[in-house]
Structure 1
Amino acid sequence: MTPVQGLQVTSLTTTAIKGLGVVPRHEVELTRTGVAGDRAFLMVDAEGNLLSMTRTGAWAGYTAHYTAESRVLTVTGPDGSEATGEVRLGDALEVDFFRHHAVPGRLVEGPWAELFSDRVGQPVRLVRPDADNGGVDLRPVTLLGDASVDELARRSGLDAVDARRFRMTLGFTGAEPHAEDTWEGRTVRVGGAELRVEGPVKRCGAVNRDPADGSGGMRALSLIKGYRGLGESTLGRGVLFGVYADVLTPGSIKVGDTLELDVAPALSH
């Protein structure tokens, strides 16, 4: 491994329920399937279709905390109100995940479905995927450089862009804008964990939603496309921003940890 001067973790975020607001974390435990407790639940509509931030930002101001040992899930509203209880599993349900793969799980009984349904104005059901971190998109971890977010702001004529709208696992500083795009296939050691960088993240309309209240005032997708164009990803051609990573070695990561990259492969002639 070769340490890169100044390359270090500046932010870590998770959400126990996909579609709710992300929570800043100082330290996380990274398993092979993702951060412990991250995207442990997801929501579906009456037909069983995935409800993500793209479809509704109604829950952006809500956060969730899940303790696997006690099976207690707590959802906190923007006014400080809480809906908490022990997770009890009901009928089996298979969720279609962006037409890319199916996620088997079970419906969750308790106060949360009613809370979410009332908030969005339509029937909503909470699902616990059978697999840990079953609500992650394609890979367990996502990475995005602070310089990339700053570059988006600069190119868009904005003072700043709130990085929370991209809902990434790990933010870092010390690299050029979009340097992470060049890391595909490389190994990154951070804290006690080791990652392998995979392909780019194809962005959806979720990035247009304000991370504080879910409103859609900023057209981030169009702004990114305006200077980056379109590119290829696992999910097809689209607007790319940030990268995925697999977990090679589980371990803890905290804000301030240094990122170390392996030596880039030599170019063939």
Structure 2
Amino acid sequence: MRTVSRISIAPVKSLALQHPDEVRIESFGIAADRFFYLVDRTGRLFSGSLFGPLTAIRPEYDPGQEWLTLHFPDGEAVSGDAAFLGEPIETGIWGRPITGHVVGGAFAEALSRFAGRPIRLARVDRPGDGVDSQPISVLSDASVEELARRSGRTEPLDGRRFRMTVGVAGCTAHEEDTWIGHDVRVGEAVIRVTRPDGRCVVTTRDPETGVRDFDTLRAIRAYRGVRDERKIDFGVYARVAEPGRVRVGDRVEPI
């Protein structure tokens, strides 16, 4: 039986993941997922592909109180009102323009100190806009295990490095690829699997520290090949067909 093994969200894009036991998936995705993001002094997206150690910063966001805390690896914690908004800003995410507002308070100073360059925290104007491409990503545990096996690893591979929304247990390796073009019921929600998830350099980094520790891209390419001469696929993307609540342990059923 296929079940949800893990739910992952990133309240702040590129920072550490959170793993709630349950979420509500709306038509646009999960409201708290990638609700905040980082930009440089020009308004350009500043992400984990540019600076891996971002994933070592642990965010805590209370949407009811609109209160955000960032826990830095040296023990520093910076908190503030996430509704304290400054100037409007337009940023490109994978060629797609989104609008947001810079978040005021002490966040910029702390983030800039950590990154060694001027960085600001921003908040999307419209929930769901902060994702890379589509609101939901899915990856089976068996696919991660197969990658480790093919690579000759003796230690388990931490699947969190792929930053998928929904992890699935009870599948065969890469079974999720066969769901492309089909609807899949996940708990109370229904998602429409649309295309493969082309991976980037972030997956080569330890999900706790952001330090490169395994060349996932080379390993995936070695046995899965390349799509369109450059895309290295691992897992799938999906849109939301029917909103609903999803819990760890819920059944996952292709329709």
Residue in structure 2 matching 1:247, options 212, 230, 240: 240
* Structure 2 residues not aligned, in runs of 5+: none
Which position in structure 2 is the counterpart of 1:225? 221
Residue in structure 1 matching 2:65, options 66, 70, 73: 70
- The size of the alignment, in residue pairs, is 253
1:181 aligns to what SS in structure 2?
A: helix
When the two chains are superposed, the root-mean-square deviation of aligned CA atoms in Å is 1.4
CA shift for structure 1 position 212: 0.8
State the alpha-carbon separation in 2 of the partners of residues 141 and 50 from structure 1.
20
1:60 aligns to what SS in structure 2?
A: helix
Q: Aligned partner of 1:123: which letter?
A: P
Which position in structure 1 is the counterpart of 2:205? 209
Residue in structure 2 matching 1:148, options 121, 143, 146: 143
State the alpha-carbon separation in 1 of the partners of residues 143 and 171 from structure 2.
9
Q: Give the 5 Å matches for 1:54-203.
A: 54-87=49-82, 88-98=84-94, 100-159=95-154, 160-203=156-199
State the alpha-carbon separation in 2 of the partners of residues 33 and 114 from structure 1.
31
State the alpha-carbon separation in 1 of the partners of residues 211 and 113 from structure 2.
18
State the alpha-carbon separation in 2 of the partners of residues 79 and 193 from structure 1.
39
How big is each residue's C-alpha offset from its partner over 1:138-188, in whole Å with a ceiling of 9 and x where there is no partner?
111100000100010001011321101000000011111111111111111
Q: Is 1:8 aligned with 2:3?
A: yes
Q: Aligned partner of 1:41: which letter?
A: F
Q: Is 1:238 aligned with 2:231?
A: yes
Q: TM-score, normalised by structure 1?
A: 0.90
Q: Percent of aligned positions with the same letter in both sequences?
A: 40
Q: TM-score, normalised by structure 2?
A: 0.95
How big is each residue's C-alpha offset from its partner over 1:191-242, in whole Å with a ceiling of 9 and x where there is no partner?
111111111111111111110101012111111111111014xxx8410111
Q: Aligned partner of 1:190: which letter?
A: V
More strand per residue: 1 or 2?
Answer: 1
Which position in structure 1 is the counterpart of 2:253? 260
Q: Aligned partner of 2:25: which letter?
A: L
